[in-house]
Structure 1
Amino acid sequence: MGDDSERLYRLDEVAHITGSSTTSPSDASRACSGSRACDSMSDEPLVSAFVERWRPKTHTFHMSFRECTITLQDVAYQLGLPVDGRYVSGCLTDFQKLLGVSPPANQIQKFAVNCTWFHETFGECPAGADEETVRHFARAYIMLLLGTQLFADKFDNRIHIRWLPYVVRLEEMCGYSWGSAALAWLYRCMCRVANRHVVKLAGPLQLLQSWIFWRFSGFRPAGYDEFSWPLASRWSGHNPSGSEKGPRVQMWKLRIDMLQLRDLSGGPSGCASEGVGASSYGLMAVCDGTDIFCHRIVASD
């Protein structure tokens, strides 16, 4: 079956944490051009303080009142990613065929390509480009999203070519369980950084931070009361303080130490596997069909 053009460009119905997906690939790629630019919303001291509570053996945050963790349900609601479907398992394929050009040898590091090459090569789709060229740019844009938002590594400056097979048929990408892959990658990154010799955290930190804000309302920044879909987009304008990180990490660690069960908000989902389901997220309406996330409006807690 060939690519369905109506499905291929139907992006307006889904928003991601960088903003509305009506943003052009060239605009979005420029927005991601800096080191960890797509994760600029991350409050590093807060995230670091929580990661210190992570226990690799149980894949949970060890809190003073109980253990908590991020679940597939959280990924689905926070990032709007599918958690059902085919599993994501990377393999290699032809770069030249899918993107129309291959990176030079000095832009390749083992099985990864420097982000700078993507930005320079696919920064702006030329006016009047034919359909095949548009597909090349769309594939490059999606690879940037995967490599800089969901599956970023600690180097922050390269895109792994394992994602090439998934952009072959763009209309089939929604058939993969990207949510479970993103959660597994976040777990793996937090387990790695739990080692005292690893100091830099990678992975979808926007998921971790949004989960913290959702579950612990006392940690939320002021002025972000309007809900949107997916839920992590609520914090897209958050600009953490640029003050010295060391004292802020200590401040967050102290506040986490003082947390009690009553400080947990948004329902008990994510703690001891209780309260699963849409009701724990306070959704006003949810469908039981294939697309259970059919309503974007959610109630405040």
Structure 2
Amino acid sequence: MARLYHLARMNDKWFRLDEPLVSAFVERWRPETHTFHMPFEECTITLQDVAYQLGLPVNRHYVSGFLTDFHVYIQGAQPAWQWFQELLGVLPPANQIQKFVVNCTWFQETFGECPEGADEETVRRFTCAYIMMLLGTQLFADKSGNRIHIRWLPFVARLEDMGGYSWGSAALAWLYRCICRVANRHVVKLAGPLQLLQSWIFWRFPGFRPAGYDAFSWLLASRWSGYNPSVSEKGPRVQMTRLRIDMLQARDVSMLTSYV
């Protein structure tokens, strides 16, 4: 229905972010071209990568997160929080809300497990909440990684239509935007679908792959689900990764890499 099944699997098979590796690659990002400036050529993450890595549709209707006058935007000027309550059957307490975002912990505590024998309406509400959590934490996470924006209400209100949207294109655009913010030096914490970025690095640059993850699986990003990088000596690891990137040549890159 929503065509987010593969993303749901990633949520169950999470892998940790290798911060030094990702940081060293992000330093190579050029906002003016949306490419990584490598020693041998410019390269970037493409829609094909998104489709293969995350299994998301990339050729359907565009996804809009337009937020101007959001409180009167949805459902014929119906107040956003009123619609939230109608769709999910409950409102979060005031201390769990920050303007138009809700703490993810509230979603998890309220909709963590659908009751056994629940009626169709209850199942639908839990489904809407779960998809909002997927979108807010897996594809369109902010820097906190723990907040769910209610901009997704218009989409989950029409579950039958969700499969008709290009979620992969929207996720890639959001990742580009997040990397650009960090590259401009005004933001220090990277957000966005970082599992896509890290898996792209592993697949396109085999020399950076962790050892012992040779079993093929679909979606491709799930291959690294058990990877647990070291959290010590981040500074030296960033420096070492920079040096390794400096020495990269075209032959060190997977032949499937897209160049621009």
TM over 0.5: yes
Structure 1: gaps spanning 5 or more residues: 1-6, 20-27, 32-37, 273-301
> Secondary structure of 1:15's partner?
helix
What SS does the aligned partner of 1:159 have? strand
Instruction: Specify which of 94, 113, 126 is matched with residue 124 of structure 1.
Output: 113
Summarize deviations over 1:110-168 as a string: whole Å, max 9, x none. Answer: 11111111011112212221111111111111111100010000111110000111111
Corresponding residue of 1:66: 41
Taking structure 1 as reference, are residues 233 and 39 closer, same or farther at Cα in structure 2, changes over 3 Å only? Answer: closer
Distance 1:147 1:177, change over 3 A: same
Aligned positions of 1:250-269 closer than 5 A: 250-267=239-256, 269=257
Q: Which residue of 2 is the match for residue 295 of structure 1?
A: none
Q: Say if 1:65 and 1:259, in contact at 8 Å, map to a contact too.
A: yes
Aligned-pair distance for 1:201?
0.1
Residue 216 of structure 2 aligns to a residue whose secondary structure is coil
Q: Does the residue aligned with 2:60 lie in a helix, a strand or coil?
A: coil
1:168 corresponds in structure 2 to 157
1:179 is the counterpart of 2:168: yes
> Is 2:168 the counterpart of 1:193?
no
Deviations 1:162-203 (A, max 9, x none): 011111122221100001000000000000001223110000
CA distance in 2, matches of 1:15, 1:147: 16
Secondary structure of the 1:113 match is strand
Distance 2:51 2:9 in 1: 16
Aligned to 1:220: 209
* Contact 1:217 1:264 (8 Å CA) reproduced: yes
Q: Which position in structure 2 is the counterpart of 1:84?
A: 59
- Does the 8 Å CA contact 1:72/1:183 hold for their aligned counterparts? yes
- Is it true that 1:15 corresponds to 2:6 in the alignment? yes
Give the letter aligned to residue 243 of structure 1. S
Distance 2:24 2:134 in 1: 26
* Aligned counterpart, 1:137: 126
C-alpha separation in 1, matches of 2:145 and 2:9:
16
1: CA distance, partners of 2:213 / 2:9: 16
TM-score, normalised with respect to structure 1: 0.77
Report if the CA contact (8 A) 2:62-2:165 is conserved.
Answer: yes
Gaps of 5+ in 2: 66-72, 75-79
Matches of 1:225 and 1:266 in 2, distance apart?
18
SS at the partner of 1:202?
coil
Do 1:49 and 1:252's aligned partners in 2 also have CA atoms closer than 8 Å? yes
Change in CA separation of 1:74 and 1:112 when aligned onto 2, cut-off 3 Å: same
Aligned ranges 1:281-292 → 2 under 5 Å = none
The change in CA–CA distance for 1:18 and 1:69 in structure 2 (over 3 A counts) is same
Q: % of aligned pairs identical?
A: 77
| Alignment-mate amino acid for residue 134 of structure 1 | V
Q: Work out the number of aligned pairs and report it.
A: 246
Contact 2:15/2:225 (8 A) holds in 1: no
CA contact (8 A) 1:43 1:209 kept: yes
Distance apart, 1:228 and its partner CA:
1.2
Q: Distance in 2 between matches of 1:248 and 1:157?
A: 27
Residue 125 of structure 2 aligns to a residue in which SS?
helix
Q: Name which of 122, 134, 139 aligns with 1:150.
A: 139
Please state which structure has a larger fraction of its residues in helix: 2
Letter in 2 for 1:258: M
TM normalised by structure 2 equals 0.89
Q: Contact 1:150 / 1:204 at 8 angstroms: preserved in 2?
A: yes
Instruction: Note if 1:245 corresponds to 2:245.
Output: no
Structure-1 residue corresponding to 2:258: 270
1:214 Cα deviation from its structure 2 partner:
0.7
2:50 corresponds in structure 1 to: 75
In structure 2, the residue corresponding to 1:77 is in which secondary structure? helix
Amino acid at match of 1:58: T
